[in-house]
Amino acid sequence: MKSPRLITLSFAAALLFPALAHAHPGHDGDHDFVWDFGHLVANPLATIACLSLLAAAGWGVWKLVKSRAAAKTDLTRRK
């Protein structure tokens, strides 16, 4: 049986990831895929938001893995 938390996370990810893939408004001119740090400096709020989102996602995954490991340890101790 799948965990309800895992199903909820999967559902939320399926809804959020496509929305996050769209660029924020204000991109005029050439639309080639180019990576440079000048764009990050020119859009500091978007950069902070992106880094915060990545940090929150990493923290959430870490807590999920940690809670599952703790649950497995409890089950083995009870037996």
CB neighbourhood size of 70 (10 A): 10
Phi, psi for 67 (deg, rounded to 5)? -70, -35
Rounded to two decimals, what is the model's pTM? Answer: 0.45
State pLDDT tens for residues 38-66.
888 888 998 899 999 999 999 999 998 88
What span, in angstroms and rounded, lies between the C-alpha atoms of 68 and 52?
24
The amino acid occupying position 14 is: A
Q: Tokens 């999920």: give the residue.
A: 64
Q: Tokens 């929150």: give the residue.
A: 56
Nearest in space to 15 (alpha carbons), one of 7, 24, 25: 7
| Per-domain boundaries in the chain | 38-79
The pLDDT, as a whole number, for residue 59 is: 95
